[in-house]
Amino acid sequence: MSTDALALPRTELASRPIVARLHDWVTTVDHKRLGILYIIYALVFLLIAGIEATVIRIQLIRPHNDFVSPPVFNRMFTMHGTTMIFFVVMPVLFGFANYLIPLMIGARDMAFPRLNAFSFWMTTFGGLLLYFSLVGANGLYGAGNAPDVGWFAYAPLTSRTFSVGHSTDFWTLALLVSGFGSIGTAINIVATVLCMRCPGMTLAKMPLFAWLNLVMAGLVILAVSPLTAAQIMLLIDRYLGGHFFDTQAGGSAVIWMHFFWIFGHPEVYVLVLPAFAFVSEIIPVFSRKPIFGYSVMVGATVAIGFISMSVWAHHMFTVGMGANVNTFFVLSTMAIAVPTGIKIFNWLATMWGGKIEFKTPMLFCIAFLFQFLAAGLTGVMLSVAPFTWHLGNSYFVVAHFHYVIVGGILFALFGAFYYWFPKMSGKMYSETLGRLHFWLFFIGFHLTFDFMHIPGLLGMPRRIYTYEPGRGWDTWNFIVTIGVFFQAAGILVFLGNLLWSYFRGKAAGSDPWDAWTLEWSTNSPPPAYNFASIPVIKSRRPLWDLKHPADPDWKYE
């Protein structure tokens, strides 16, 4: 390794006083450090929101349980949803995008490094603001502290009349502030992907990871902004006496639903496109084949981006929007299953005939494929408006979207953690612990979310803090809660693996997977400047070309 000399400054860094090193982290504008900050921040909130989920499930383990009181239960599901979406999944995906995009496109940093740091700290303060409500929101005695209006905060529950005190203000301000951070990061990703590619990397030669994150960033720009607008309206209503969502003065509660879900549904694709991006990088490497149908994958991604902007009102079939509106959103929602299905077939075709290596990242990606397919199928069921009339707001819906977010996004994310951990830390993770994590989490996931569909079908509504015995819900809820403990054990093994491997793991080397994208051409962890000299590429798999000079990819592309 001729670049071993680069390891020298690192030992000097390590000997500096801890305050100086912390100061380096706080003031950093390096995309890799910000990426890691995003990821650690998200893991902390993952623990918090996971504990909230556990509280919810313990409360529901048997009928007439009184583990927590009804108001606390409301706070738990509100904080769980808000935290998981805005302060776990989005930051962790931004973290991976931040860390990997410049490395994959052969750049030395993001397009706007200081905007990058600004966005991270905005997101951070948003999360802190949300949890500061626990001490700061108790404006009125007995009015409650943490937000308790549900993660989509329907009007008129958020009006001053029904939400006294300041808990809703903390909720709306936290989302407003972190929303500015998200928009900043999205602008940065778009500018980086379009303007910072290394010579030779045309759009058609970018790794799919960069493509999917480009579309994701475009969606953030178009989808988080409406949420920002809606939060400003809510603040005007609450602080200046406005009437946007005030039905007493002619305002409309339904328009809040529209504005929220104009954000809310594209948001699902904001979260899932980076998961697709991970899978599109991991599956080819562990199948030892290039991705099947690159251009179709790009086309399907862009199609998903467009269609996802026109499906939001399928969250509102039970509101009574009229037959024409319902029909439009039924059809558009069904249509989005087509490009998504194309992707699944492409991943399967990539694996077909490949020399599959069942390493931990690949295990998670294979589970992702099947679970995401199942999640998509219940999604198609729910896209049928009359079906939603029966099952809207039931545990069937809860099971469906957790299947997407946990079974799809989180599994892909765990795959990404194991796949890029050697690059980020320079150490190899423990394969044994990785497999243990996979099987614990896999079993826990299926115990919880497979069986959660059934009480939904039997009529159990979401967000109830307890239920009567003898409705046929008892056994199912018991199984669902037992699954949570398996998942929690899996998460603990995962965190233990990360920590243990970071301090005790074997050195990983720059390219442990024999992979093909540019991030594996530099050291692990990469030096601050990423590449000693900016690479020049001729195909989608520059490292393949380098390793096989007799048979390079660019001859065929």
Contact residues for another protein (CB under 8 A)?
1-3, 111-112, 115, 183, 186-188, 190-192, 194-197, 199-200, 217-218, 221-226, 228-230, 232-233, 236-237, 240-244, 249-252, 255, 259, 262, 510-511, 518, 521-523, 531-538, 542-543, 545-547
Q: Nearer Cβ to another protein, position 3 or 138?
A: 3
Q: State how far the Cα of 7 lies from the Cα of 390, in Å rounded to an integer.
A: 61
Beta carbon of residue 254, minimum distance to another protein (angstroms, whole number): 10
Beta carbon of residue 72, minimum distance to another protein (angstroms, whole number): 34
**Opening angle at CA 254, ends 249 and 256, nearest 5:** 90
Q: Nearer Cβ to another protein, position 195 or 507?
A: 195
Q: Nearer Cβ to another protein, position 100 or 440?
A: 100
Q: State how far the Cα of 109 lies from the Cα of 120, in Å rounded to an integer.
A: 15
Beta carbon of residue 518, minimum distance to another protein (angstroms, whole number): 8
Q: Nearer Cβ to another protein, position 47 or 232?
A: 232
Q: Nearer Cβ to another protein, position 59 or 98?
A: 98
Q: Nearer Cβ to another protein, position 120 or 445?
A: 120
3-state secondary structure of 55: helix
Beta carbon of residue 287, minimum distance to another protein (angstroms, whole number): 22
Contact 517, 543 (CB under 8 A): yes
Beta carbon of residue 230, minimum distance to another protein (angstroms, whole number): 7
CA 489 to chain centre: 21
Q: Nearer Cβ to another protein, position 167 or 539?
A: 539
Beta carbon of residue 115, minimum distance to another protein (angstroms, whole number): 8
Beta carbon of residue 526, minimum distance to another protein (angstroms, whole number): 10
Q: What residues pair up with 461 in beta bridges, in sequence order?
A: 394
Omega before residue 386 within 30° of 0, cis: no
Q: Nearer Cβ to another protein, position 192 or 301?
A: 192
Contact 92, 42 (CB under 8 A): yes
Contacts of residue 439, defined as CB under 8 A and 6 or more positions apart, other chains included, come to none
Q: Nearer Cβ to another protein, position 227 or 398?
A: 227
Q: Which two tokens stand for residue 250?
A: 């002619």
Beta carbon of residue 405, minimum distance to another protein (angstroms, whole number): 24
Beta carbon of residue 180, minimum distance to another protein (angstroms, whole number): 10
Q: What residues pair up with 394 in beta bridges, in sequence order?
A: 461
Contacts of residue 117, defined as CB under 8 A and 6 or more positions apart, other chains included, come to 27, 28, 29, 34
Distance, first Cα to last Cα, the chain:
30
Q: Nearer Cβ to another protein, position 31 or 437?
A: 31
Beta carbon of residue 207, minimum distance to another protein (angstroms, whole number): 15
DSSP H helix total and E strand total for the chain = 19, 0
Contact 487, 53 (CB under 8 A): no
Contact 481, 444 (CB under 8 A): no
- Element spanning 519, H or E: none
Contacts of residue 160, defined as CB under 8 A and 6 or more positions apart, other chains included, come to 237, 238
Q: Nearer Cβ to another protein, position 256 or 411?
A: 256
237-268 in b/e form (b: 16+ CB < 10 A) is bbeeebebbbeeeebebbebbbbbbbbbbbbb
Beta carbon of residue 195, minimum distance to another protein (angstroms, whole number): 4
Q: State how far the Cα of 199 lies from the Cα of 233, in Å rounded to an integer.
A: 46
Q: Which two tokens stand for residue 556?
A: 């065929």
